[in-house]
A and B are shown apart, each in its own frame.
Chain A
Amino acid sequence: MAVNASDLPDARGHFGPYGGQYVPETLMALLQDLEAAYREAKRDPEFWAELDRYLRDYVGRPTPLYFAERLTEELGGPKIYLKREDLAHTGAHKINHAMGQILLANRMGKTRIIAETGAGQHGVATATVAAMFGLKCEIYMGVEDMERQALNVFRMRLLGAKVTGVHSGSKTLKDAINEAIRDWVTNVEDTFYIFGSVLGPHPYPMIVRDFQRIIGVEARAQILEREGRLPDVLVACVGGGSNSIGLFHAFLDDANVQMIGVEAGGHGIESGEHAARFNGGDLGVLHGARIYVLQDDDGQIALTHSVSAGLDYSGVGPEHCYLRDMARTTYTYATDEEALSAFELLSHTEGIIPALESSHAIAHVCKLAPEMSRDQIVVVNLSGRGDKDVQQAARFIEGVR
């Protein structure tokens, strides 16, 4: 079924019953200013021309759509194409929205950049664009994530960012967002918060989606050129949901293209240690938006688990919640173990080491392929490269065996 995607969100930032602005009063004026600045930029062809120029010359867009021939043979099913966001500068799709948001920050005259990060990819992307424009930058990161993504911590510091460890709560992404919001609420005059996913209060889910949309716009043109037709299935991993919405959005009106988001199944749903919000979460309010949230009976936000820091978050973006209700997208999950197998498989068959996040999408393709025919086409978003994950993966793979 087709969904009229361009209408969403509504004027108050709602995707059906999801999204909105559930924030302390101090932030309301900032969000209104941000929305006004964005709507003005959106209408300005020069803004997009400048963004396109940086995306081409600095980020390296368009990223290739690669036919994974050996993986296709190995799985014996549909033709598998990989959208190579791992080849974008800094090694993941996060640079797309970081670049868009920092141009917006410049337009608004903000001089200090803050961001949260989970896996560190959004932090690295933010530190990168801040360095490029010579702006002060502070990144909040849970101390548990700092440990499992030590390489990215070093990269951010090398890029001149201050990395501040967050010790509260689960010491992961959700706590890093809390701390970044506390910073923003304090430094309202000069600071721009570069949000890392299609999460948070309106207008962030809209802004981040619009800047990530290029993934699907490119992929759609590329597959039409290569195959002369649209793919049957799109697959992407879903943490907050930025790379998946980025791939899906340009295809929403193509009613015959099926879209599957893959959440982190951690140690399995029955173990309770996972981040599969659509498989165990309920409607709640977290970080400014009404979304599906993993929580307990008393409304306390649950701790999540995933081998991949980038998917290890208690909530999922409002537009995903809405598209799921409309039955336009479906969601499943892959466990840590399945993701690690996919991590190895893609490395062996294609010479591409995927991020552990993206490995969840590959893991689902492994399950999907045997049920599909050889004349069908699957496009998978390879949202990031796995160099950052090799130490972590080595520990897990050796531990499992």
Chain B
Amino acid sequence: MTRIGRRFKDLRKAGRTGFVAYITAGDPDLNTTHQVVLELDRQGVDVLELGVPFSDPLADGPVIQEALQRALAAGATLEGVLSMVAELRVETEIPIVLFTYYNPIHRYGVERFVKRAADVGVDGVLMLDLPPEEGGDYKAQMDEHGLDTIFLMTPTTRDDRMRLIASHTRGFVYYVSRTGVTGERDSLADEIQSKVSAICQYTDMPIAVGFGISTPEHVSEIARYADAVVVGSAIVRRVGEYQNDVDLVSKVGAFVGSLIGPLREGV
């Protein structure tokens, strides 16, 4: 079992909803990302998603697109991100998921990537544009090295695909709560709760809900029926806003702390 599985087991035991934070690796540079990860760990983030920089992020909205561009401009590479994870592992046991588009991995070599990810202490990978149908080789490599393969379900995912995706997913199921790209929204999508119950019929794995979750109120609402809440763009936007601020790390930490607040009481 990976750090992800152990963390969700602990959360279940404690009756608590988990908090998953996404940040773009290398934004504004890898050293800062390293410090932000340690701060998020201190704030009580349960699972960390690290976005791997890519030039053509077609599932991302403007906030994360710009963050990925900043990371690329600062010279972040897949190898650089993996090395950072290796360095982080000296200081933290926070579960880490790499959140990536397929081409950088394809280029690096799937087998070489999985082996290196396992070596440096990555726990799971979420490949945005690699559905189970195309990911057979990747899945086999990940299983062999004991890493979690996290796949997405969305409002357009029908029952037959829910079964397929559930059978390929390890660690947790990521439910994308709305159609569209990543980004903050004023209100939550409809029918999240009913979709989460539908997914529960196909899997015992924890279900994390993300996309458009931006405020402590959203977090409280989702926590009523999901095993974990994912927040990305709202955090990434702040990293962007504070990029020239010496207090970037503590300010981002304070914001994430405010989002986790509602979960501390054990919702």
* Chain A residues proximal to chain B, CB less than 8 Å: 12, 20-30, 168-169, 174-175, 177-178, 181-182, 185-188, 282-288, 290, 293, 295, 297-301
CB pair B155 A293 closer than 8 Å: no
List chain B residues, Cβ under 8 A from A177. 58
Q: Would you give the shortest CB distance from A301 to chain B, in whole angstroms? A: 5
Contacts A23-B131, A25-B151, A29-B161 given: A298-B78 contact, CB under 8 Å? yes
In the complex, the chain B residue whose C-beta lies closest to that of A293 is: B103
Provide the B21-37 mask, 1 if CB < 8 A to any CB of A, else 0.
Answer: 00000000000000000
CB pair A299 B108 closer than 8 Å: yes
Provide the B47-63 mask, 1 if CB < 8 A to any CB of A, else 0.
Answer: 00000011111110100
- Ranked 6 nearest A-B pairs via Cβ: A299-B107, A299-B104, A186-B180, A29-B156, A300-B55, A25-B152
* Chain B residues proximal to chain A, CB less than 8 Å: 53-59, 61, 65, 69, 72, 77-79, 102-108, 128-131, 133-134, 151-158, 161, 165, 176, 179-181
Q: Would you give the shortest CB distance from B109 to chain A, in whole angstroms? A: 10
CB pair A298 B107 closer than 8 Å: yes
Q: Would you give the shortest CB distance from B82 to chain A, in whole angstroms? A: 12
In the complex, the chain A residue whose C-beta lies closest to that of B101 is: A285
List chain B residues, Cβ under 8 A from A29. 156-158, 161
CB pair A26 B129 closer than 8 Å: no
Contacts A25-B154, A26-B156, A299-B78 given: A284-B130 contact, CB under 8 Å? no
CB pair B58 A22 closer than 8 Å: no
CB pair A185 B151 closer than 8 Å: no
CB pair B133 A299 closer than 8 Å: no
Cα A297 to Cα B108 with chains together (Å): 8
Q: Would you give the shortest CB distance from B163 to chain A, in whole angstroms? A: 14
A-B contact count (CB 8 A): 114
CB pair A186 B179 closer than 8 Å: yes
CB pair A186 B181 closer than 8 Å: yes
List chain B residues, Cβ under 8 A from A20. 133-134
Cα A174 to Cα B55 with chains together (Å): 11
From B56, B61, B179, contact of A169 by CB (8 A): B56
CB pair B103 A285 closer than 8 Å: yes
In the complex, the chain B residue whose C-beta lies closest to that of A170 is: B55
Contacts A25-B131, A25-B176 given: A300-B104 contact, CB under 8 Å? yes
In the complex, the chain B residue whose C-beta lies closest to that of A187 is: B179
Q: Would you give the shortest CB distance from B25 to chain A, in whole angstroms? A: 13
In the complex, the chain A residue whose C-beta lies closest to that of B131 is: A28
Q: Would you give the shortest CB distance from A18 to chain B, in whole angstroms? A: 12
List chain B residues, Cβ under 8 A from A285. 102-103, 106, 129
Cα A320 to Cα B103 with chains together (Å): 20
**20 additional A-B residue pairs with CB within 8 Å, beyond A28-B131, A168-B65, A188-B156:** A22-B134, A24-B59, A25-B153, A25-B157, A26-B59, A28-B156, A28-B161, A29-B158, A29-B161, A182-B58, A185-B58, A185-B180, A186-B180, A188-B179, A287-B56, A290-B106, A293-B103, A295-B107, A299-B104, A299-B106
List chain B residues, Cβ under 8 A from A298. 77-79, 104, 107-108
Cα A186 to Cα B181 with chains together (Å): 7
